[in-house]
Amino acid sequence: MNIDLYELTEQLRKILPVKRFNHTLGVGYMCSALAMRYNCDIYRAQLSGLLHDCAKYLSSKEILEECLKNEIKVSEEESNHPHLLHGRLGAYYAKNIYGVDDEEVLNAIEYHTTGHPDMSLLEKILFISDYIEPSRKMVKGLQETRDMAFIDIDKSLILKIESVLNYLNERECFIDELTLKTYDFYK
Ligand SMILES: [Fe+2]
Ligand SMILES: [Fe+2]
């Protein structure tokens, strides 16, 4: 696998709306920075960051249709909340459109929204970067997660999930069971 990150960035620039593209760049850079801090492969971290939302420009309806068309597994909850599937579809695109054959990178992309128990370092780096990248609008808990990200990645992961759960609870939004399992594992 030898994907040119500059060319990839230019490809993404063409398909992603400008806000999503800026977020993508931010996540790519955060992934590089955390990879430096925690001694992870910088290229693979940046690749994960650049591709993590590569399916998120589609509408919920299109995401679900794409998953069904490509025989990607969809749970009942996910079919009711198709935006939850953008990670799994993104991993599918990363493999089949962008040529990623690195399973750990694909897993990091698939699980970037929920996390999962016992994540690899690369998966943790993407999970945190997605949340703390510079263009994220400030919400309760974000500053603490940012402060902790370069000190203790597992603690920062707990802070992110707590902050996300608070946000979703306050708005009575659906919470994926895997997010809760991830939280229990690291707490
Ligand atoms: Fe995402
Ligand atoms: Fe994202």
Walk me through the domains of the chain, giving residue ranges and CATH numbers: 5-137 (1.10.3210.10)
Q: What is the pTM of this model?
A: 0.96
Which ligand is in closest contact with the Cα of 136? 2
Dihedral sign, Cα of residue 1, residue 91, residue 93, residue 130? negative
Nearest ligand to the CA atom of 31: 2
- Strand, coil or helix: 140: coil
pLDDT in tens, 27-79: 999 999 999 999 999 999 999 999 999 999 999 999 999 999 999 999 999 99
Distance 15 CA to ligand 1 centre (A): 15
Local structure of 67: helix, strand or coil: helix
Compute the distance between CA of residue 150 and CA of residue 133 in angstroms, rounded to an integer. Answer: 13
Residue 1 has pLDDT above 90, yes or no: no
Closest C-alpha among 6, 61, 49, 46 to residue 24? 49
pLDDT in tens, 99-114: 999 999 999 999 999 9
Percent of all residues in the chain with a pLDDT value above 70, rounded to a whole number = 100
State the chain's mean pLDDT as an integer. Answer: 96
